[in-house]
């Protein structure tokens, strides 16, 4: 009897494994189809963009007005950043948001090209299945903010992997999230790995806490899992996930689709752990470049008055207008949005010459979005602005920044 039971269990484990293998193959085929479709649509958009741009340059050439808004754009275009033919007005609008740095406009225009078209041919899941690893007894807001932001940006499904006692709380904030109460279960890593093959990006850290056992699970089940690195999906590391990276930089060092999003304190800790010397706070651009280099060129986003983004070769700054209000949770909005944008950027970039790192494009998009949501929410709520108010702005701000 016992033997039969054993055989039965073995067979059902095998059947389950086969199911996931087939499911993964099916998802990969779907992704491939979608990427091809996306590339075709993108190609048409590029051609249209080029047609518009040549029409508008013809108008500029024919007019006597030397100060057309399209002219300085061409002059400001830096070498090494491919121009993909977008509406020149995007640059004009971007300037009104507060940036005055030549390099930024091109990265900003690239963000628009990664947004997948909405078509009736897609099925649920194709625009992104994002996983957030975080959420414990103390912190239930952070994973919620990250996961709901991913959905509001345009992901189709958002999964949260949290501890048991955080799960009911997070579920009660939103019926839209899929919540797995597994982080503190004895077989936590297997529980997470069951889902990982279906995910397009993971965000590790919001509200994770710093208990050893949770950090170990996040490491084995998220950052280092064969399903994330081997499947080559973007891994965004934020908040307490950065605590883990500070203790063990090798968990993400050299992984090209790794993106770290430290605030100033998290950045300082990580910098000092890697360089064994105090950071020079007056030269943040240099420090962010150095840290990305020391991490094997993972993308680093140092958040602050200006967000500095580097993949170790260049530093980009994002200074889209925000506000003076610094409520907790804004960083979670950023990391959740970044998970989706990173997936889109890599899906889109397969078809293109990679003149700009897709992680940088995605990071630039997420920073611009977060900052402007902050500014828009502040206009209505002033000092009482909270992250929930900012999340309500994601839809209109995204449309205005990236889809108009």
Ligand X SMILES: NC(=O)C1=CN([C@@H]2O[C@H](COP(=O)(O)OP(=O)(O)OC[C@H]3O[C@@H](n4cnc5c(N)ncnc54)[C@H](O)[C@@H]3O)[C@@H](O)[C@H]2O)[C@@H](O)CC1
Ligand Y SMILES: Nc1ncnc2c1ncn2[C@@H]1O[C@H](COP(=O)(O)OP(=O)(O)OP(=O)(O)O)[C@@H](O)[C@H]1O
Give me the residues that bind ligand Y (CB under 6 A), please: 239, 263, 303-305, 307, 322, 326, 328-332, 334, 367, 370-371
| Smallest separation (angstroms) from ligand X to the CB of 329 | 4
- Residue of 127, 193, 240, 389 interacting with ligand X (CB under 6 A): 240
Binding of ligand X at residue 158 (CB under 6 A)? no
Count Cβ neighbours within 10 Å for each residue of 198-224 and write b for 16 or more, e otherwise.
Answer: bbbbbbbbbbbbebeebbebbbbbbbb
Of 111 and 170, nearer to ligand X (C-beta) is: 170
Is 222 a known ligand-binding residue?
Answer: no
Of 151 and 166, nearer to ligand X (C-beta) is: 166
- Cα(399)–Cα(362) distance, rounded to whole angstroms? 16
Is 30 a known ligand-binding residue?
Answer: no
CB 379 within 8 A of CB 276: no
Binding of ligand X at residue 149 (CB under 6 A)? no
Binding of ligand X at residue 141 (CB under 6 A)? yes
Comparing CA positions, the residue from 167, 204, 199 lying closest to residue 182 is: 167
The CB density around residue 39, as the number of other CB atoms within 10 Å, is: 15
Is 265 a known ligand-binding residue?
Answer: yes
- Residue of 49, 116, 181, 207 interacting with ligand X (CB under 6 A): 207
| Residue 21 binds which entry of ligand Y, ligand X, none, CB below 5-8 Å type-dependent | none
Comparing CA positions, the residue from 251, 197, 254 lying closest to residue 224 is: 251
- If you count them, how many residues does the chain have? 404
| Residue 312 binds which entry of ligand X, ligand Y, none, CB below 5-8 Å type-dependent | none
CA 26 centroid distance within chain? 24
- Cα(118)–Cα(272) distance, rounded to whole angstroms? 44
Q: Name the strand (E) or helix (H) holding 301.
A: strand 299-302
| Residue 240 binds which entry of ligand Y, ligand X, none, CB below 5-8 Å type-dependent | ligand X
Binding of ligand X at residue 332 (CB under 6 A)? yes
Residue numbers in the known binding site are 207, 263-269, 303-307, 322-332
Which residues make up the interface to ligand X (CB under 6 A)?
139-142, 206-208, 239-240, 263-266, 304, 328-329, 331-332
């Amino acid at each position: 009897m016992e033997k039969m039971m054993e055989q039965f269990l073995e067979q059902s484990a095998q059947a389950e494994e086969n199911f996931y293998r087939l499911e993964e193959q099916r998802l990969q085929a779907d992704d491939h189809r979608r990427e091809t479709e996306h590339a075709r649509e993108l190609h048409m958009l590029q051609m249209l963009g080029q047609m518009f741009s040549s029409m508008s340059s013809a108008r500029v050439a024919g007019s006597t007005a030397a100060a057309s808004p399209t002219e300085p754009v061409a002059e400001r275009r830096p070498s090494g950043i491919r121009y993909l033919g977008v509406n020149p007005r995007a640059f004009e609008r971007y300037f009104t948001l507060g940036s005055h740095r030549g390099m930024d406009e091109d990265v900003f225009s690239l963000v628009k090209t990664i947004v997948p078209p909405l078509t009736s041919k897609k099925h649920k899941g194709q625009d992104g299945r994002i996983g957030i690893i975080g959420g414990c007894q103390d912190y239930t807001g952070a994973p919620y903010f990250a996961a709901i932001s991913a959905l509001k940006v345009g992901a189709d499904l958002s999964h949260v992997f949290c501890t048991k006692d955080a799960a009911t709380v997070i579920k009660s904030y939103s019926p839209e999230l899929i919540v797995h109460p597994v982080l503190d279960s004895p077989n936590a890593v297997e529980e997470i790995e069951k889902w990982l093959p279906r995910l397009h990006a993971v965000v590790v850290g919001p509200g994770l806490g710093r208990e050893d056992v949770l950090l170990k699970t996040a490491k084995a089940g998220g950052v280092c899992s064969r399903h994330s690195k081997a499947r080559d999906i973007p891994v965004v590391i934020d908040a307490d996930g950065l605590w883990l990276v500070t203790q063990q930089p090798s968990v993400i060092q050299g992984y090209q689709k790794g993106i770290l999003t430290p605030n100033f304190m998290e950045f300082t800790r990580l910098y000092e752990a890697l360089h064994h010397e105090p950071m020079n706070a007056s030269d943040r651009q240099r420090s962010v470049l150095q840290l990305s280099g020391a991490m094997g060129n993972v993308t680093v986003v140092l958040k602050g008055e200006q967000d500095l983004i580097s993949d170790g070769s260049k530093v980009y700054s994002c200074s889209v207008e925000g506000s003076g209000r610094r409520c907790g949770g804004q960083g979670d909005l950023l990391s959740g949005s970044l998970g989706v944008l990173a997936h889109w950027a890599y899906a889109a970039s397969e078809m293109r010459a990679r003149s700009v790192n897709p992680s940088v494009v995605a990071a630039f998009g997420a920073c611009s979005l977060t900052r402007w949501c902050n500014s828009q929410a502040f206009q209505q709520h002033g000092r009482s602005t909270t992250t929930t108010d900012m999340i309500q702005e994601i839809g209109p701000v995204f449309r205005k920044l990236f889809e108009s």
